[in-house]
Structure 1
Amino acid sequence: MEFTWRKDNDQEQKVKSFLGTHGVSHRMFTQIKHNGGDILVNGVHGRTVDWLQENDEVTVIMPPELDNDLVATSYGELDIIYEDANFIVVNKPAGLTTVPGHADREDTLVNRVKGHLKQAGATDLVPHIVTRLDRFTSGLVLVAKHRFAHAMMDKQLQTHSIDKRYYAIVSGIVEQDHGMIDLPIGRKDDDFIRREVREDGRESQTEYWVKERGTHATWVQIQLHTGRTHQIRVHFSHLNHPLLGDDIYGGTLELGITRQALHAYYFSFDDPFTGEKHEFTSPLPEDMRVLLE
């Protein structure tokens, strides 16, 4: 994978500083040096300490991320709604685990993306999950096709500039049409899975808008301003409005859905390579649509 930038000013600057402004981190310099990558200045091998002139072109050749036997390859179905040289956007079904772990190591979203990349003849075979979803949450997942794209998107995650929105159906009637849940979240005692609102937790903000109120439940639209584990589920459970089907956090299983009624229906981000704004949407899955009907 190669990336080229042209220096468009006469400011004194070394190669390392110039590439740093384009997102090449110290860690990446190490990977380039020790794993077969290269840095070219005007098509010739250069050093990070070289001085640049105006209109010089600097090319970074990232070393390929080769097949890793620790991550199995799966050729299971993938609902890909967008793909370019750097990113894949997948519409994940509920029940498919995002990354290999105790629940599944052979047929997760990562395993399937790896299989897709192999079939496409890619040289980078290590998918990087940018926006992770719980196993039983459906919807849009952004995958970086190489480590540099992942690093660039990590910066956007840290500055909360990726706009992520969800639909949820929660128990009971939410009275306020709009609200901001600003409550810290942390691990529940020694529980490896569950989280809870607690004073010593990490800052967490969940904004919501009521779309529709039913007899026993409310359909809400949600925007995340932070990205804590189980954030939406914990916040609404704390307000005594657990998500339907979310038995871990007190949601009922008696209204026709047996997984948390949560769907990542929209996200947008600015492409760090082209400057283009990408927006993606995903329709409600059948089980949630039936609930609303």
Structure 2
Amino acid sequence: MDAEYRVGGQDDFELEAEGGDDAERRCADVDAAGHGERLDRWLTTQAPEFSRNHLQSLIERGCVTVDGKPLGKAAHKLRAGQRVEVELQPTDESRAFRAEAMALDFVYEDEHLAVVNKPAGLVVHPAAGNWSGTLMNGLLAHHAAAATLPRGGIVHRLDKDTSGVMVVGKTLAAVTALMRQISAREVHREYLALAWGRVEAPFVVEQAMRRDPVSRVKMAVAPANLGKPARTDIFPLGVGEVKGRAVSAVHCVLHSGRTHQIRVHLMHSGHPMLADVLYGGAPALGMTRQALHAARLSFTHPATGEALVLTAPLPADLAAAWAEIGAIGLPS
């Protein structure tokens, strides 16, 4: 009976490039060894450079046909002699490092580095759920050398919904020097925020932090022996009211750069940020994203040794909320 089967294995897989697309089509006949095999498992032998999960997603998207008919079930059992054709779309991850032209607001730029005023809503690094349209994609389009640098030259990050200044290296030497400054805490980052409650005197939050043991999307304060050291200095800039509830404008100075540090430290001190729903801050004053802005960045230019101090004004949404409570600006 085996002699009647049409033999087709990985070496016999036919390739057909799709013009103007990153996809390619591959065709093969199921041989005796593939008889009774699950479609997704059989595809891993024909396209071993792709993960089984990715091949399953291609099946679900209708990119695989058996004898000319689309099959959406990864568990479909194949029969010897069937003709399988798959359109191999690149993985989302493989698209992450593509140049994408976008309007970027640079507050400083030379041949060594750039400082960008990141808008709220722009993701910094490609990751699950955001494999394109990120700041890194924009940097790859902005200057060709970014493709040769780790993470396109990005040396620190801001949360998606946090606006403000970020420094980016444009050469490997600049990236290395900036990362060393950050590690030595020689890059100074100052933020403006609106928080619930009455803040009328400066205070310091010095609480170690770690990933929240219950929710992996959150960070949390932790005992010193279980977390990483983190300190935030907080200064009042004004107090107003929203429907009888106090709202404070604050100036936050980082002494470390932990993920979500200001958001967690404000929540821990009883002053969650406006519209920071993840950490218990209710929306108000028209804010629909966390009321946090990276307003000032100070560091030493890695090539010239010049002391640079770069600032970015409050974006429209936060500026309107700021004015509504009559807060003062960033101190000099």
Q: Same fold (TM over 0.5)?
A: yes
1:112-123 residue pairs with structure 2 within 5 A? 112-118=138-144, 122=145
Matched, 1:141 2:166: yes
Does the Cα contact within 8 Å between 1:180 and 1:207 map onto a contact in 2? yes
Distance in structure 1 (CA, Å) of the matches to 2:113 and 2:192? 24
Matched, 1:183 2:213: no
2:289 maps to which of 236, 239, 259: 259
Matched, 1:205 2:235: no
Does the Cα contact within 8 Å between 2:140 and 2:146 map onto a contact in 1? no
How many correspondences in the alignment?
A: 222
Runs of 5+ unmatched residues, structure 1: 1-67
CA 1:140–1:82: 2 relative to 1, 3 Å: same
Matched, 1:192 2:216: yes
Does the Cα contact within 8 Å between 1:72 and 1:105 map onto a contact in 2? no
CA 1:151–1:105: 2 relative to 1, 3 Å: same
1:41-80 residue pairs with structure 2 within 5 A? 70-80=96-106
Name which one, 1 or 2, has greater alpha-carbon Rg. 2
CA 1:270–1:254: 2 relative to 1, 3 Å: closer
**Counterpart of 2:265?**
235
TM-score using structure 1 length: 0.72
Cα distance, 1:148 vs. partner? 2.2
**Counterpart of 1:84?**
110
Residue identity (%):
37
Distance in structure 1 (CA, Å) of the matches to 2:262 and 2:131? 26
Does the Cα contact within 8 Å between 1:204 and 1:227 map onto a contact in 2? yes
Q: Secondary structure at the match of 2:120?
A: coil
**Counterpart of 2:306?**
276
Cα distance, 1:255 vs. partner? 3.3
Distance in structure 1 (CA, Å) of the matches to 2:284 and 2:147? 45
Give the letter aligned to residue 136 of structure 1.
Answer: D
TM-score using structure 2 length: 0.64
2:177 maps to which of 152, 176, 184: 152
Does the Cα contact within 8 Å between 1:138 and 1:264 map onto a contact in 2? yes
Q: Secondary structure at the match of 2:227?
A: coil
State the Cα RMSD in Å: 1.6
Distance in structure 1 (CA, Å) of the matches to 2:140 and 2:213? 36
Q: Secondary structure at the match of 1:214?
A: strand
Runs of 5+ unmatched residues, structure 2: 1-93, 325-332
Distance in structure 2 (CA, Å) of the matches to 1:106 and 1:196? 29
Does the Cα contact within 8 Å between 2:231 and 2:255 map onto a contact in 1? yes
Q: Which runs of 4+ in 1 moved over 3 A?
A: 122-126
Per-residue CA deviation, residues 65-91 of structure 1 (Å, 9 max, x unaligned), is xxx965021101101111111101100
